Structure 1
Amino acid sequence: MDAFLYRIKAAQRDLIERCGGIMRVVEKSGYSKSEVGRWNNGSEPDLMPVGAIAMLERDCGQPLVTAVLAETNGRRLTDPDEARRAEVNVLTSHAELMRHSAEVANAIAVAISDGQVTPSEATTVDRLASGLERAASDLRQALAVIKASGGAKAGLKIVGGE
């Protein structure tokens, strides 16, 4: 498989996870457990049909596979949900970004510690990178809301201060 297929397979796996796992996707989509399992398995070449992608992305509210397809063609999706952007807090988003960044750094360190990155280790790092990517997107959304509103108080308080 080429890099594009690995990205699509990772997006499919993330989509299945965010929709509640293999069994819930089976119930929701009407596809068999083995078919959904092949979509979820990075070693299998099976790709989701467009109808299943649309239905599952609508179910979880995140265009994970569609975003990969857009990126492949030099495009980026925008989030039309203003309420979601307004709810994202810059401090919380920053903390999540740092947490995910540390998890990715740790996984990379473990993977390269023996001088060899296995496909299993690459899958682990890729899963963590997906969370990092989502956290970075949330932070960017929070910053966009701040820019659009002309600024915002950081909400930081000194512990023990009056």
Structure 2
Amino acid sequence: MITNAWFHRIKAAQRDLIRLVGGIERAAQVSSISKSHIGRMNNATDPELMPLHAVYALESECGVPVVTSAMAELNGRRLSDPESERVVEQCVVAAYSDMVRKAGDLISGGAVAISDMVVTPAEATKMDRDAAELEAGLGELRRALAGVKARGGQRLGLSVVGSGR
């Protein structure tokens, strides 16, 4: 069953994509679509959806398949990342702390939004943005952890003061 929830998911992905390429003006330059048209695509309540050529151009520019991933997700699928086959050199501590911060943003924002037992469209939009950032943060953490496993472990370079190490 298709509901209009798909529309809000795609609109959120469009907004994320526009932000990732540098905003409305940059998205207009990359896609060869007018700034006002891109602005409508960026507006959560406007029914304007991106044409496929714009999605392709913008995703190619930023290197993140935001809208394509959302479309796959809506169909019960997910994209595979050929980069995940390679060991990604990334600091586990940085990825973990960033993910925890993003989770905190979602949790605290969500708590405020539901405290009055009413979630407004603006609150839902903010929570969705926080959830998207958390989702990206989880992906970074998982890549960092995969790198640790591939290397057989990793000393994090931290020590307890007075531990003698």
- Normalising to structure 2: TM-score of the pair? 0.90
Matches of 2:47 and 2:59, distance apart in 1: 20
Determine the structure 2 residue equivalent to 1:47: 49
CA deviation map 1:24-52 (0-9, x unaligned): 11122110111101111110111111111
Q: Does the Cα contact within 8 Å between 2:93 and 2:156 map onto a contact in 1?
A: yes
Q: Which one is further off, 93-102 or 78-87?
A: 78-87
Displacement of 1:60 after TM fit?
0.6
Determine the structure 1 residue equivalent to 2:115: 113
Q: What are the equivalent positions in structure 2 for 1:1-150 lying under 5 Å apart?
A: 2-81=4-83, 86-150=88-152
Displacement of 1:161 after TM fit?
5.1
Q: Measured at CA, do residues 22 and 86 of structure 1 come closer, stay the same or move farther in structure 2, by a change above 3 Å?
A: same
Determine the structure 1 residue equivalent to 2:156: 154
Displacement of 1:113 after TM fit?
1.6
Displacement of 1:158 after TM fit?
2.2
The DSSP-based 3-state class of the residue aligned with 1:87 is coil
Q: Percent identity?
A: 48
Matches of 2:97 and 2:20, distance apart in 1: 21
CA deviation map 1:91-143 (0-9, x unaligned): 11110111011111111111112221111111111111111111011111111
**Corresponding pairs, count:** 162
The DSSP-based 3-state class of the residue aligned with 2:88 is helix
Structure 1 consecutive aligned stretches of length 4 or more whose deviation exceeds 6 Å: none
Displacement of 1:147 after TM fit?
2.1
Displacement of 1:150 after TM fit?
2.5
AA at the equivalent of 2:21: C
AA at the equivalent of 1:116: V
Displacement of 1:77 after TM fit?
1.5
- Cα RMSD (Å): 1.9
Extract unaligned runs of 5+ from structure 1: none
Q: Which one is further off, 43-52 or 11-20?
A: 43-52
Matches of 1:83 and 1:159, distance apart in 2: 37
Q: Which one is further off, 140-149 or 116-125?
A: 140-149
